[in-house]
Amino acid sequence: MWIADSWKEYEVLDTSRGEKLERWGKYLLIRPDPQVIWDTPRQAKGWKKPDAHYHRSSRGGGEWEFFSLPEQWEIHYRELTFHLKPFSFKHTGLFPEQAVNWDWFGEKIRRAGRPVKVLNLFAYTGGATLAAAAAGAAVTHVDASKGMVSWAKENAASSGLGQAPIRWLVDDCVKFVEREIRRGSKYDAIIMDPPSYGRGPKGEIWKIEEMIHPLIRKCVALLGPNPLFFLINSYTTGLSPAVLTYMLSLEMAGFHGRTDAQDIGLAVSGSGLILPCGASGRWENE
């Protein structure tokens, strides 16, 4: 398992009864987590006095209960600054477990010894985009949500990357890739963090089980002759590390490199155990 263990301002304090207690900077949040199926004693003090608690509804969805959480606050990871705010479906605008991937590809970009063009698909609020740009890459950031792209731009400005070579695009990721193929565009690295289900800006439907492999195949056509890496993140149960490995190995067989995939996770300070948070597949050149 790959573990994001370099955070200073984020921490999973405890997990129990379908929920996790987290420290986001100076604020404590309780949020549901489908992986937490155990019922253990809640010993951390924060359980009794959180700043906000997201309650899952038995009918689907849920809602926040606020105690002393501001509408927006900041958190830092290395040289990056992220704006956080609670919004529907329990999210805060950041997936802290992804820091383990930011560190991995950031080091690859720094050591490449050449200009690196990165395509980041389903790019959300820009965590991977900023990590790649901070390492020196030129990044094309694509997401179907105008609000998320605006949020990512704010994060870039707060991180001192407002003038970095980043293209911000609101677009359907599949259609954008198809147009880039027709234009003959080439990239040195690709990052994708696809949702299980989603809709594009014009109502295009995305179902990951049906569409992820064809998209990987199309993305390979965008790679130059000496690609640096290909990263896929998945929060979908059916896309296990073995499945990610298989798809990447099949489609990247024409390049000299190696594929690996693992669960990613976060350490739980109260128990010393690791909370699984999805999976990542990595192809890298050798």
Work out the end-to-end distance of the chain between its first and last CA atoms, rounded to an integer number of angstroms. 21
pLDDT of residue 201: 67
Neighbouring residues of 253: CB distance < 8 A, sequence distance ≥ 6? none
Total-model pTM: 0.95
**Rounded distance between C-alpha atoms, residue 198 and residue 206, angstroms:** 5
pLDDT of residue 238: 76
Nearest to 224 by CA among 112, 81, 131: 112
**Rounded distance between C-alpha atoms, residue 203 and residue 193, angstroms:** 19
**Rounded distance between C-alpha atoms, residue 218 and residue 177, angstroms:** 7
Q: Residue 151 CA to chain centroid, in angstroms?
A: 14
DSSP code, position 242:
H
What are the residue ranges in the chain where pLDDT is below 70?
200-201
DSSP code, position 205:
E
pLDDT of residue 186: 98
Query: In DSSP terms, which residues pair with 234 in a beta bridge?
Result: 279
pLDDT of residue 10: 98
Strands 197-199 and 205-207: what pairing? antiparallel
pLDDT of residue 161: 98
Q: What is the pLDDT of residues 45-87, one digit of tens each?
A: 999 999 999 998 878 789 999 999 999 999 999 999 999 999 8
Q: Using an 8 Å Cβ cutoff, are 12 and 97 in contact?
A: no
pLDDT of residue 202: 72
- Structural domains in the chain, sorted by start: 2-84 (2.60.40.1180), 96-285 (3.40.50.150)
Backbone conformation region of residue 94, classed left if phi is above 0, alpha if psi is from -120 to 50, else beta: beta
Tokens 């040195």 appear where? 188
Neighbouring residues of 204: CB distance < 8 A, sequence distance ≥ 6? 144, 172, 174, 175
User: What are the Cα distances from residue 221, in Å, to 63, 87, 257?
Assistant: 42, 36, 16
